[in-house]
Structure 1
Amino acid sequence: MQPIWLGFPSVSCNMFVAHHYQCIMRACTELKQWLNTVIYSYRLKHSNTHSELATLLIETFLKLRQSSQPIVTESLHYEPICEVVNSSILRVLQVAVSDLSVRGGIPENRSHILIIKETSIVAIYSGRGTSELRIDEILFLIIVANAFDHSKSSTRHSLLILESCVPYTIHIQRVENGLDVIVLIECGLHQIATSLFALLKSVSASPTKVDLIPKQLKELKKMTYKPNQRHQWCESLIWRPEQSHNQSAMSAFCRQILRGYEAVCLNPSLLYAAVELVSRVIDDIQLSIPIESLSQPCRLTPLLNIYPGLVHFVLIDRKNHRMISPNLPLERDDSTFGNMWKIFHTSLEWLNEGMHNLLWNDKQLCYSHAIWIEDEANKKLQWRPNWDIQTGTFGYPSLIGSGFYENLMKGGLEDEEADPTHYFQFFCIHLAITSPSIIVEQSERLANYLKRFIYPSVGKLEDIF
């Protein structure tokens, strides 16, 4: 089967993200926001492919917000794998990154490989010297991988390449047992994108920053000489100070810059160059990873039998964006699975209004939620007592990429000079007949146990609620 190519320009993808969960790969964000207003509506109006892809990703995101704990909580869930198997998989991915370098000339500092199962992480490996993938980038990849129906084509040979993620190309291939292997390759165009934005910002400023334009244009031309003779468009960029007084001339100059962006950052030849190589590398990964060893029981599930009335729990280490939780029931019509979304969405709505601790009962189940920050001495730091912050100031929880939890930590504490060491969020479900005092007691004991599960040397915190 021939590889599938989905043309979805970076600017289009960013517009989709801005409206729905503001998450996109590491190109110059402000550049793409500027380009959105110029190009996006035109592209969706005149391209059914772009419209269909945008719709597909939006629908997938909204669906996963009602069925995936990692997506709704903006955290990563790692499959329960023993240390020996995990080390073996990471060695396989390390060899794969080396193969991309040796056989394809792709530098190790531009390659990332992920293995995911549905919305859980099996393994992540980034080549030596790469910049670390952000949480919103990883969650975006999970959404992309879940957006496509692999059953409609050969799962072994289907290779998806999205043009949407400059400065990355993304290669996704379904292998055995529902695993998706994702290979990201950085195109090395971040500096050019940044320079383009600086030039556009100067041109579009009011009044126009005439003094900066010649210097910025010179730097841009110098950068674009390197990428395989794709600099020719830049030679046509000629700036004359008198242009700033002519709106038509300024518009034409901006259009030339936009054409250059497409020529350099969205060059299809870059996307196709590594297709066959990456496909072979993914095949090698599939043959080498111990797939049969990936299905292991979660060590946390037995805790549900230790605490009377306990139905489900989720602890999130917000500093590292990782969650730990028992396995949810496989039957999606199970009431526990359905009730999880009630605790998530209700808790996050109130959290957005400044309610950091919450306990409520709907006569069937009792739900509790707490979010807290600790200092180095394991002391709980106090939130601001008068919560007069306008809704949306910190972003929005459950809106991937808005930076809500980071902003909450920076601006929500009473002591602005405090030095946060640990940052946790805890969701819990009990049977409705469980008394509130028992719920609080169990929740605190369980949360402290889970903290030690992550940080064995961390002391006990007494007053979570």
Structure 2
Amino acid sequence: MDGIIIFDHLNDVVFKKLNAELLVKLRETALSQELISADDKTDEEVIDNNVIIQLFSPITNSQRIMFCQFDNTYTSFQCENDLNFVFDEFLGYLFLKIGSKSLDLLRRDIAVSITIAKHICGPDLYVLKQKESKSCLMTDLLETWQRLYETNQGVLLEAIEQLMVNPDVKSVAQKTLEAATERLKQDPHSQRSHALLFVENKFLGIYSSRQAQKVSSADILFLSILCQTFQSKMNSNGISIQSNLLFLRGQTTTTHSSCIPHIVHTSMLDKGAVLMLLIEYGSLQVASGLHDTFHALQKVLNVQAQADLDNFKSSFENLETHVKQSLEALRKAKYNNQDIENCTKRFILKWENLKRKYAEFFKSSDKDSIVKIESNMPGFADELQELFRLTCLECAVLDHGFERVSEISTLAEEKLLEFSEFLSEFPGLVHFIHIDRSIGRIIAPDLPTDTPLISREKVWSMVEFTRSYLTRGHMSLMWKDTTFNYSYFLWFEDQNGAPIKPKDLPNYNAPNSAVRPQFEPGILGGDYYQRLLETCFPKASLNKIKCFEVYCIHLGLVTATCALEHCRRLVATINDIFL
């Protein structure tokens, strides 16, 4: 059984994705509770949202009460027959993941689900209920993610699998991508753009215009999943070009990161090559300001729900700061749009009214004033949502750059680097995975599907095993089974390539651990490795430190000393040839 449900703050279903087995189970439960009748003739492959609300209301209501009264919500619980429930929250929306997989895998699934929802909707997740196109894209991306997590090394390790080509081909590809962005600049709406090229499931290159915000590794990984989704849809319905309005995270060090609207054109080229043209859309300042206002508003709502009067004023002042920044950004953007102007006026009126209610409370400390604040809050939140939709989600120019997509042609016909000759230099080495976590790139041979020496299950099991030790502070591992020797190393280097040792080794699973990551090892649900750097080097300049990982699988006859020497030579060879 597997499924995910998103509830809003009223416990209405905003989005659901349930597999057939879970759907049957829910219908059986609903039938036993007389929520549906035995002669119900509706399609057995669907279940009404009202039925889901009634089935899960004891859980969702309990979760809300645990938050409001105790600030101690459920993170997960386990039921009979190995059925697990995992919870998470984003801006008041409750994510519920149901499945028979381990809790760690379900936590990863739910973190990725939140990330995908952010990419599709920004901070306004209610769009998933209002727009079928957004809901369908969410479903498609989740299905692709689940499929790739079970079959693709890059997605398993949440890193971008780099396509290895000779320098001449790489140079031609880069010049072609540069030319693509230059042609996009001929359109006045496409001055800030990126061009990316994927071949099958691997990343070949990216070129960004000077004015464009930097694209993060997590963004590129998400785009690779979008690319795979597009390829599967193209094979089924013949679509050759697809356009979407999405939100990218950007580099965390940039001013307007976390919510950057992009028009994304995806085009199928020859022989498995996929071109992506990304065009920054609208005002970054407006998008960033409204995004921060959503988060500040949610903080205010949390404080009110918990009756935390000590933090009442500070949370309101934070909201006021972001509202002012948003209004200033809207003023500078100079939208020539009557709908936006009218919505902005309504937003200001709602805000001024809300401010007066807060001023009355701060002056009198009368708890009756809180009731007035709470009654005015929904109207303000509705105008905030509408303003975000008009400025960031409603795109009348989705076809910008569309006609230029066809100008880029074949890049996938060149020969790829053969890893078979590379592996022959290391007798007994069956498979390796090298990851540069600083840029999120992975280098690894493909796993053969015909007569594999090493099975996919062995590789996946190796990764899950090392992750369990990594969270306990173990950055070097060597072990063996009846057939193979396995080794894993994580290390840090400075800008000159010299290894550096961390001052503190984290053990997030320790009972008295003061620092616990909010996510599993990876970058989609949150950058685990950035948090690892912050923990290991608390006072260092993190942009000057690089993080690497390497996995090696040797035949069982290879000694530990030989395997360790191979790992050292392998890393040095990869640095010399590929990096």
What's the TM-score once normalised by structure 2's chain length?
A: 0.65
Instruction: Say whether 1:283 aligns with 2:406.
Output: yes
Contact 2:289 2:323 in 1 (8 A): no
- SS at 1:105's partner residue? coil
Over 3 Å counting, the alpha-carbon distance change for 1:78 and 1:410 in structure 2 is same
- Which residue pairs with 1:460 in the alignment? none
Paired residue for 1:302?
421
Structure with the larger RCO, 1 or 2 (CA within 8 Å, 6+ apart): 1
Looking at structure 1, the residues matched to 323 and 275 of structure 2 have their Cα atoms a distance apart, in angstroms, of 45
Matched, 1:158 2:241: yes
- Of 365, 379, 389, which residue of structure 2 is paired with 1:252? 379
Shift of 1:397: 1.0
What pairs with 1:361-400 in structure 2 (closer than 5 Å)?
Answer: 361-375=480-494, 376=496, 378-382=498-502, 384=504, 387=507, 388=510, 389=513, 392-393=516-517, 395-398=519-522, 400=524
**Contact 2:476-2:490 at 8 Å conserved across structures:** yes
Name the aligned partner's letter for residue 263 of structure 1.
L
C-alpha separation between the residues in 1 aligned to 2:115 and 2:282? 20
Contact 2:261/2:284 (8 A) holds in 1: yes
Aligned letter for 2:356? E
In the alignment, what sits opposite 1:195? 289
> Which of these residues, 282, 292, 303, is aligned with residue 413 of structure 2?
292
Which of 60, 84, 101 does residue 185 from structure 2 map onto?
Answer: 101
CA drift at 1:125: 1.3
Kindly provide the CA deviation profile for residues 246-268 of structure 1, in whole angstroms up to 9, marking residues without a partner as x.
Answer: 23223212211211111111114
SS in 2 for 1:58: helix
The one-letter code sitting in structure 2 at the alignment partner of 1:251 is P
Aligned twin of 1:72 = 156
Which deviates the most, 176-185 or 66-75? 66-75
- Asked whether the equivalents of residues 13 and 54 of structure 1 are also in contact (C-alpha less than 8 Å), the reply is no
What's the CA shift for 1:437?
A: 2.4
SS at match of 1:308: coil
Equivalent positions of 1:303-318 (< 5 A) are: 303-318=422-437
Residues 1:122 and 2:204 are matched in the alignment: yes
CA RMSD of aligned residues (A): 3.6
In the alignment of these two chains, the number of paired residues is 427
Instruction: Give CA-to-partner distance per residue, 1:361-406, whole Å, 9 cap, x none.
Output: 1212111100011345824414635734468427321352411112
Residues of 2 paired with 1:193 and 1:428: CA distance? 44
Cα contact 1:76–1:321 (8 A) shared by 2: yes
Give 1:11-50 correspondences, 5 Å limit: 19-20=111-112, 23=115, 32-33=122-123, 35-36=124-125, 39=126, 43-44=128-129, 49-50=133-134
Residue in 2 aligned with 1:443? 567
Alignment of 1:336-347 (within 5 A): 336-347=455-466
| Match of residue 5 from structure 2 | none
Instruction: Look up the match of 1:458.
Output: none
Extract unaligned runs of 5+ from structure 1: 1-7, 456-465
AA of the residue aligned to 2:164: P
Map residues 225-264 of structure 1 onto 2, 5 A cutoff.
225-226=334-335, 228-229=337-338, 230-237=340-347, 238=349, 239-240=352-353, 241-244=355-358, 245=369, 246=372, 247-264=374-391
Distance in 1, matches of 2:322 and 2:433, equals: 52
Decide which of 393, 397, 412 is 1:266's aligned counterpart.
Answer: 393
Quick one: distance in 2 between partners of 1:256 and 1:192? 15
Residue 210 of structure 2 aligns with an amino acid whose one-letter code is: R
Q: How far 1:159 sits from its partner (Å)?
A: 2.1
SS of the residue corresponding to residue 301 of structure 1 reads helix
**Match of 2:477?**
358
Aligned pair in 2 of structure 1 residues 347, 198: CA closer, same or farther (>3 Å)?
closer
Query: Identity, % of aligned pairs?
Result: 22
Deviation track 1:410-450 (CA, whole Å, cap 9, x = no partner) reads 2125x855886443211000112222222222222322333
Contact 1:319 1:422 in 2 (8 A): yes
Give the drift of 1:173. 1.7
